[in-house]
Copies of this chain bind each other. A is one copy, B any other.
Amino acid sequence: MAAGSIDRRVARTRRLLQAALFELTTENGYAAVTVADICARADVGRSTFYTHYPDKDSLRKTAIEEHLDVMRAMAGARDSQPSAGGFVFSGPAFAHADATRTMHLAMLGGKKHEIPEEVRGWIDRQVRHELADMARQGAIRLDAATHFVVGAFLEVMHWWLDEETQLSPAAVDQLFQSLAFEGMSAVLAKPHDVHGKGHD
């Protein structure tokens, strides 16, 4: 009767349920996934599901929270470093997302764009924090800039994970940061391509 969930069965069940949710979310979008679907995919009894989580949202929330812990740790480690004129959070985020592509795509809602509140909230705090450090300004201006960057970041991340862009994490980050700091003008001016690839 130890404290945590050391029991193999518990760990196994939760792992299977999480994986199933990620797969199904990526395939059909979060809204379309039912608890029965998840259990079928995970090969777990439906009643078992409810002994672990009260509902579908809770499963997702827990899964996301666990992974945000990883991100938090990474961000925390770099927090003391001076920001050399760019965002600190985005690089690690792109890199980590690349490593766990499926899960991150699921976290953004799969093909559909169903970004959970926790994710948006976390990005929002990162951006706001970093922007506030860069320059002191009016609340409205900071708000606008924050929302601007959050929206742009999530959309670029989603696009990059969903499409087969062949871009390395570092390359997207560079592109993202250029767009964010220099704006359209600078990026559009440059004539050279990053990497050739047709579109759909």
Contacts and interface: CB of A to CB of B under 8 A. Distances in A.
A186 B183 contact: yes
20 contacts: A31-B31, A113-B115, A131-B188, A137-B188, A139-B193, A139-B197, A140-B165, A140-B194, A140-B197, A144-B159, A144-B172, A145-B187, A145-B188, A147-B159, A148-B152, A148-B155, A151-B151, A151-B156, A179-B183, A183-B186
A150 interface: yes
Contacts of A191: 137
A198 B139 CA distance: 7
A12 interface: no
A141 interface: yes
Interface of A: 31, 112-115, 117, 120, 131, 134-135, 137-141, 143-145, 147-156, 158-160, 163, 165, 167, 172, 175-176, 179-199
A186 B180 CA distance: 10
A167 B140 contact: yes
Contact of A144 (B141, B151, B175, B196): B175
Contact of A138 (B144, B156, B196): B196
A181 B188 CA distance: 10
Contacts of A151: 151-156
A138 B193 contact: yes
A182 B145 CA distance: 12
Given A154-B151, A155-B151, A188 B134 contact: yes
A58 B137 CA distance: 44
Nearest to A120: B113
B155 A199 contact: no
B115 A143 contact: no
A138 B180 contact: no
A186 to B, nearest CB: 7
